[in-house]
């Protein structure tokens, strides 16, 4: 009997990362493609997804009949049971039945979930949160994503809309967030939030290392790392502010959920996670009850950019139980 494989995807606004796993849960092939300028053409993204899967199958030499399933994480509000993307902020999808489209093309079962939910699931099954039953995830990237494991199960709430605690309001008089509220965690601690602060300081005449690198409202994580290493004052103010509000949000989640572990992932944590963790840990005790805090671990994600593809694998395996 030939070996079977699973295809796992991390679908983003700028790129799609793909990986093929064998039965030992080892990655045997990888591929990355840019989604480029998508405009409002839903089929364009679908074509890129299809081309990634086709190229991985063809280039790896694995036969299509040996692919058991395809799993994916994507940004937005997603009905994981139905495989329908209800809304995606960075992709041109609304009430989009992506499962039917992909399954019609490949005749292979397809599963999809919110990217941060899937990333937290990956850390729970294969990463730093393995062995814990209650997990809170903060994923710090262009925006601020949340994911929640309760009693060993991914919790997505009513209509799969839960764990959007990137939009918990921490200061109602704070900066405007893309969601329309003021003072959300995302408005302080995401790349968007930090970039907005840096541009504000630049407009006040304060020179810094990041203002010229900000494109489409955000800097790249590698540039943040360089500016932090150089001790750029404006950058460090933005980082301190971001970590301060992450500590407050973490304290709120500790008091509310009493998790076993809080996991911090995403592109920012991948680039400068050690520095962020040091600052968060220095403050978080101020914002939660000591009797709850002393049973909670705070850790950086272990899988890095692979959190989502491992989470997609976990989603496939959970669906087949």
Dihedral angle, C-alpha 27, 129, 17, 268, nearest 10 °: -140
pLDDT computed for residue 91 by the predictor = 74
pLDDT in tens, 34-77: 876 444 555 677 888 899 999 999 999 999 999 999 999 998 88
Same domain, 150 and 296: yes
Residues 189 and 248 grouped into a single domain: yes
Write phi, then psi, for 268 (nearest 5 degrees).
-65, -45
61 and 148 in a common domain: no
Return the CATH number at 109: 3.30.420.40
Do 232 and 89 lie in a common domain? no
In a domain, 233, yes or no: yes
Residues 197 and 292 in one domain: yes
Query: 188 lies in a domain?
Result: yes
**Residues 67, 199 share a domain:** no
Q: Do residues 112 and 138 both lie within one domain?
A: no
For the question of whether the overall pTM of this predicted structure is more than 0.85, the answer is: yes
Residue at 227 is within a domain: yes
DSSP element (H, E) containing 261: strand 261-265
Same domain, residue pair 222 and 82 = no
User: For 184, phi and psi rounded to 5 degrees?
Assistant: -70, 160
Residue 90 is predicted with a pLDDT of 66
Residue 15 inside a domain? The answer is yes
Confidence band for 14, pLDDT divided at 50, 70 and 90: confident
DSSP state of 319: H
297 and 310 both lie in a single domain: no
Kindly write down the DSSP assignment for every residue of 71-112, as one continuous string.
EEEESSEEETTTTEEEE-SSSS-EEE-HHHHHHHHH-S-EEE
Residue at 124 is within a domain: no
pLDDT, tens only, 239-296: 999 999 999 999 999 999 999 999 999 999 999 999 999 999 999 999 999 999 999 9
pLDDT for position 160: 87
Residues 209 and 227 sit within 8 Å (Cβ to Cβ): yes
126: in domain? no
Give the number of domains in the chain: 2
**What digits encode the pLDDT tens for the residues 198-234?**
999 999 999 999 999 998 889 999 999 999 999 999 9
Residue span of the structural domain in which 177 resides: 131-301
Are 192 and 287 contained in the same domain? Answer: yes
Residue 125 included in any domain: no
What is the DSSP-derived secondary structure letter of residue 321? -
Do both 188 and 100 map to the same domain?
no
For residues 41 and 154, membership in a common domain is answered with no
């Amino acid at each position: 009997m030939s070996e079977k494989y699973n295809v796992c995807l991390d679908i983003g606004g700028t790129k799609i990362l793909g990986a093929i796993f064998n039965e030992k849960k080892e990655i045997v092939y990888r591929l990355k493609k840019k989604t480029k300028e998508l405009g409002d053409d839903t089929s364009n993204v679908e074509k890129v997804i299809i081309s990634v899967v086709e190229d991985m199958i063809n280039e790896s030499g694995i036969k299509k009949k040996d692919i058991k399933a395809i799993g994916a994480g994507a940004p937005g509000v997603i009905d994981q049971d139905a495989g329908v993307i209800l809304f995606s902020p960075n992709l041109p999808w609304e009430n989009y039945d992506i499962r039917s489209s992909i399954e019609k093309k490949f005749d292979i079962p397809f599963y999809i979930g919110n990217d941060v939910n899937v990333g937290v699931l990956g850390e729970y099954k294969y990463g730093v949160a393995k062995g814990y039953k209650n997990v809170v995830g903060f994923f710090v990237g262009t925006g601020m994503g949340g994911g929640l494991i309760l009693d060993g199960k991914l919790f997505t709430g009513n209509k799969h809309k839960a764990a959007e605690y990137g939009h918990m309001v921490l200061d109602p008089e704070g900066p405007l967030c893309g969601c329309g509220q003021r003072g959300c965690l995302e408005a302080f601690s995401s790349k968007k939030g930090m970039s907005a602060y840096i541009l504000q300081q630049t407009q006040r005449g304060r020179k810094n290392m990041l203002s010229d690198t900000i494109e489409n409202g955000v800097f790249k994580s590698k540039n943040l790392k360089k500016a932090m290493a150089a001790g750029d004052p404006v950058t460090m103010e933005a980082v301190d502010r971001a970590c301060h509000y992450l500590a407050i949000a973490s304290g709120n989640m500790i008091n509310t959920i009493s998790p076993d572990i809080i996991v911090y992932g995403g592109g920012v944590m991948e680039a400068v996670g050690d520095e962020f963790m040091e600052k968060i840990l220095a403050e978080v005790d101020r914002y939660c009850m000591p009797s709850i805090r002393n049973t909670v671990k705070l850790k950086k994600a272990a899988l890095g950019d692979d959190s989502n593809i491992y989470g997609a694998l976990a989603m496939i395996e959970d669906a087949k139980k």
